[in-house]
Structure 1
Amino acid sequence: MEVVHTVIAIVLVVGLIIWVKVDPVISLVIASLYLGLAAGVGFADTIAAITGGFGSIMAEVGLLIGFGVLIGALLHSLGTFRKLVAALLRVLGAKRLPYALTAALSTVFPSIYVDVQVVLAAPIARSSAPHIGPRGLAHLAGAVGTGIFAGYVFVVPGLAAVSIAGLLDVPLGTWMLYGVVLGPVTALVTTFLFGLMLRAGWWRPETDEAEDDPLGEGGPAVGTAGTGPDEDDSLSDVDVPLAVSLLPILVPLVMIAFGAFADLGGFSNSFVAFIGDANVALFVGLLGAYVLARAASGNDRTEQAIKTGFHTTGEILLITGIGGSLGAVIEATGLDATLAGLFSASEGAAVVTSILLAWVIAAVLHLAIGSVSVAAITAAGIIAPVLGSIDVAPIAVGLAIASGSMFALTVNSNFFWMFKSLLGLTTQGALKTMTTVTSMASLISLPPVLVIALLV
């Protein structure tokens, strides 16, 4: 019966979020309470599982998420990301911009929240589109969409990537070694194939592009995550060289990578493990971003950026922690023993089945809920309790969840409507770009994940 109750709990989460419009945090807590009580975990043990699961995931990723969001908020106040995209345009030219933009969004930009990424990238995409041709806006919009979410789910410190790794107990350095390749490769291949679709007649500017200019007044304010609701992006560029302002991102990544390679190479020690620890590395990045912001833009503006970052961090940490709570309750029901029976076939088939199951769970959750992060966190919480019962590397399962959680971002997502407005698309145009490229990226990334699962 625990399987039935788990399915009911998941449907309950989806129904509350989609149809009753209940906040995801409240929905996840209600579902966790239902599952624990209905499956016979008991009153006291259900509460213990919810609080214990929350505390466990916070110990894993709480500081990582907080430091990463604060770095992003500080660098946004310096205009770092706007400068980076503008530099790519100058150096590479408009024709190569879709590939440069999707590569940058999927590698460097995951340190900042997704709605801020699209606010920063949209003006560049719109202003560059006429130089590419009649399909320029569509190609750049697709590049923006696939780059943002390939980075978000695969590349550290993207929120979904960090959250999945924490819930599945995958070392962040290990995740980074795989994700930093899979993320940008997925984004670039998707952007290329999407360009072929456009040349084959997929796009009709007269029906897919809106006539109004959403950025005509200088662009809308950023939404709930990343910058303050009234911040003026025209004031974001301050006098810090781009190479210097990128250091708070690049230095932590180098530190984490060094620690991972040292561990793989067998020359790690306590000091190397310390500097390669993701918490230490991101804190070093935060210190660097804070010093740069104080020196370049002054104390008041720096404190405003920090304040905005703390506001965003609270929302993210709560939903991430409650996702861990649901996973803990599922574990308390004994579902792992039941689901382990699904993998009783031959070893190779069990691996493939496990990866496909993880992908499908995440994809279905995303289709139903409309949030990549909630789908990824919920899927990881569901699957984490059974990892010990199946012969599949946790990193492969995590990458499968990441891949599935991208599938078909569509009209039930707030980001979809933000993307549509900022890029100047009709609803049909947004479906032809955002929904199409996220579906493509999800499917394109699945075969490499299957290969990883069979090899590691």
Structure 2
Amino acid sequence: MVVLHTCVAIALVIGFIIWLRVDPVISLVLGCLYLGLASGVGFTGTLKEITGGFGEIMGKVGLLIGFGVVIGSLLHATGAFRRMVQALVSAVGARRLPYAMAGAMSTIFPSIYVDVQVVLSAPVARSAAPLLGRHGLPFLAGAIGTGIFSGYVFVVPGLAVILIAGQMNVSLGAWLVGGLCIGLATALLTTCLFGLLLRTSYWKPETDEDASEAMLETEASDAQAPPAEAGPGLLLATAPIVVPLLMIAVGAFAKLAGISNDVLSFIGNANLALFVGLLGAYLMARRQIGVERTSEALTDGFKTSGEILLITGVGGSLGAIITASGMGTELGKLFATDAGGPVLLSILLAWFIAAVLHVAIGSVSVAALTAAGIIGPVVSQLPTSPVVIGFAIASGALFAVQVNSNFFWMFKGLLGLSTKGALKTLTMVTSIAAVVSLPMVILVSWVF
């Protein structure tokens, strides 16, 4: 009965969000209440688990999310993102631009703020598209889409990475190297495969492109952003992103080398690392755009992070209710297999759960968090490392970004695509990326 009630609770959440258009936070709380009461956790116990789960996940990832989102807001306001994107064009040339953008979006750019990434990269894609011929626009659009979301789910400090790692008690240091390799390889291989697909009659500009809408959106964005020459230098612009990653990497490699002391633990702490990035972005913003505009950027970042934090915390509540309901035992039975292939089946089930949730809910981060909340309680019982299961969830959560995603419509408008064109680019490349990354996760399971 616990499994049935859990399925009903998840179906209620999905139904409220998709069909009744209820806000995700309200939908998740209603799902928590139903599951807690129906599964026998009790009235007092249900409320205790909701508040306790919220507080627990906030303690793990709250500062990381807040710092990361505000860093993105400050870098956007200073023109640092624009400087970084345009430097790619000068460095690699238009022909290699799809691969350069996919690689950069998945590794260098802070994947926490995906909306900013597409706003800044779309104008570059549109201006460079004619240099790549008839299929230039879809090729660059696909590269941007797969790069953004490969980084979002695999590469620190991507929001989905932080959510999964926090829910499953996986350190970001343990995740860092494997996630970076999978994320970059997924972005580049998916871009290559999508490029091959475009050599067929797959793309039809007359029905798949809609330039007029994108031009208006892009011009509005450009009018608000500072010109590239007024922004910070490239080295300064990338510092708030690169320095935190280096700090986390130092802690991770020290741990791998068996070196442990308070100083290294302090330097490698992800909360401190992102705060250092935030401090650097703040100081750069005050110097570049002044105190008043810096305050405006901070306010925008705080508003965005508040919304993300609330839904993240309630997602943690659902995980706590699932744990308290006894679902962990039942899921342990589901994941338990014979000796023939337990690791493979565990990875496939984790991937499948995340993929189904994403298709249904339309949010990569919510799907990743919910899947991690479902699987997290039994991860210690599984025959493979929690990091590998986390990678499998990340891979599945990539699957098919489509019309029930707000990002989908922003992507469509900024790139100048029809709805059909957005489905043939963003939905297609994220589906390919989810499938392409799965074998990589299986290979990584041999190492962890």
Fold agreement, TM-score > 0.5 = yes
**Corresponding residue for 1:114?**
114
Mapping for residues 366-377 of structure 1, pairs under 5 Å: 366-377=358-369
Give the Cα–Cα distance (whole angstroms) in 2 for the partners of residues 410 and 344 of structure 1: 33
**Corresponding residue for 1:58?**
58
Give the Cα–Cα distance (whole angstroms) in 2 for the partners of residues 338 and 239 of structure 1: 55
Mapping for residues 133-144 of structure 1, pairs under 5 Å: 133-144=133-144
Q: Deviations 1:218-237 (Å, cap 9, x if unpaired)?
A: 53459xxxxxxxx8124576
**8 Å contact from structure 2 (residues 315, 373) kept in 1:** yes
**8 Å contact from structure 1 (residues 111, 249) kept in 2:** no
- Cα deviation, residue 348, structure 1: 5.5
- Equivalent in 422, 429, 454 of residue 421 of structure 2: 429
**Corresponding residue for 2:245?**
253
**Corresponding residue for 1:419?**
411
TM-score by length of 2: 0.97
**Corresponding residue for 1:401?**
393
Q: Indicate whether 1:240 and 2:209 are aligned.
A: no
* Alpha carbons of structure 1 residues 280 and 165: separation in structure 2 relative to 1, 3 Å: same
- Cα deviation, residue 418, structure 1: 1.1
**Corresponding residue for 2:160?**
160
Give the Cα–Cα distance (whole angstroms) in 1 for the partners of residues 217 and 47 of structure 2: 50
Mapping for residues 25-424 of structure 1, pairs under 5 Å: 25-216=25-216, 218-221=218-221, 232-234=224-226, 238-347=230-339, 349-424=341-416
Q: Deviations 1:246-274 (Å, cap 9, x if unpaired)?
A: 11111110010010000010122111111
**8 Å contact from structure 1 (residues 167, 381) kept in 2:** yes
Q: What letter is aligned with 1:232?
A: Q
Q: Deviations 1:146-168 (Å, cap 9, x if unpaired)?
A: 01100111111111111111011
Structure 2's unaligned 5+ residue stretches are none
**8 Å contact from structure 1 (residues 186, 445) kept in 2:** yes
**8 Å contact from structure 1 (residues 69, 111) kept in 2:** no
- Cα deviation, residue 200, structure 1: 2.0
Runs of 4 or more above 4 Å deviation: 234-237
* Alpha carbons of structure 1 residues 221 and 123: separation in structure 2 relative to 1, 3 Å: closer
**8 Å contact from structure 1 (residues 152, 159) kept in 2:** yes
* Alpha carbons of structure 1 residues 63 and 417: separation in structure 2 relative to 1, 3 Å: same
- Cα deviation, residue 215, structure 1: 2.1
- Cα deviation, residue 407, structure 1: 0.3
**8 Å contact from structure 1 (residues 77, 237) kept in 2:** no
Give the Cα–Cα distance (whole angstroms) in 2 for the partners of residues 94 and 319 of structure 1: 39
Q: Secondary structure at the match of 2:341?
A: helix
Q: Deviations 1:400-450 (Å, cap 9, x if unpaired)?
A: 111111101111111111111111111111111011000000000001111
- Cα deviation, residue 388, structure 1: 2.1
Give the Cα–Cα distance (whole angstroms) in 1 for the partners of residues 46 and 112 of structure 2: 35
**Which stretch shifts more, 340-349 or 71-80?**
340-349
Q: Deviations 1:120-156 (Å, cap 9, x if unpaired)?
A: 1110000100011000001000001101100111111
**8 Å contact from structure 1 (residues 108, 249) kept in 2:** yes
Give the Cα–Cα distance (whole angstroms) in 2 for the partners of residues 292 and 353 of structure 1: 48
Q: What letter is aligned with 1:104?
A: A
Q: Secondary structure at the match of 1:342?
A: helix
* Alpha carbons of structure 1 residues 411 and 178: separation in structure 2 relative to 1, 3 Å: same
- Cα deviation, residue 389, structure 1: 2.1
Q: Deviations 1:364-409 (Å, cap 9, x if unpaired)?
A: 1111111111111111111111112222211111111111111011
Q: Deviations 1:283-312 (Å, cap 9, x if unpaired)?
A: 111111111111121100111111111001
Structure 1's unaligned 5+ residue stretches are 223-230
Give the Cα–Cα distance (whole angstroms) in 1 for the partners of residues 373 and 39 of structure 2: 17
Q: What letter is aligned with 1:399?
A: F
**8 Å contact from structure 2 (residues 214, 417) kept in 1:** no
Q: Secondary structure at the match of 1:214?
A: helix
**Corresponding residue for 1:225?**
none
**Corresponding residue for 1:227?**
none
**Which stretch shifts more, 352-361 or 341-350?**
341-350
**8 Å contact from structure 1 (residues 165, 171) kept in 2:** yes
**Which stretch shifts more, 436-445 or 67-76?**
67-76
Give the Cα–Cα distance (whole angstroms) in 1 for the partners of residues 218 and 137 of structure 2: 18
**8 Å contact from structure 2 (residues 329, 378) kept in 1:** yes
* Alpha carbons of structure 1 residues 5 and 205: separation in structure 2 relative to 1, 3 Å: same
- Cα deviation, residue 453, structure 1: 2.2
Give the Cα–Cα distance (whole angstroms) in 2 for the partners of residues 252 and 10 of structure 1: 36
**Which stretch shifts more, 103-112 or 19-28?**
103-112
**What is the aligned length?**
448
* Alpha carbons of structure 1 residues 371 and 344: separation in structure 2 relative to 1, 3 Å: closer
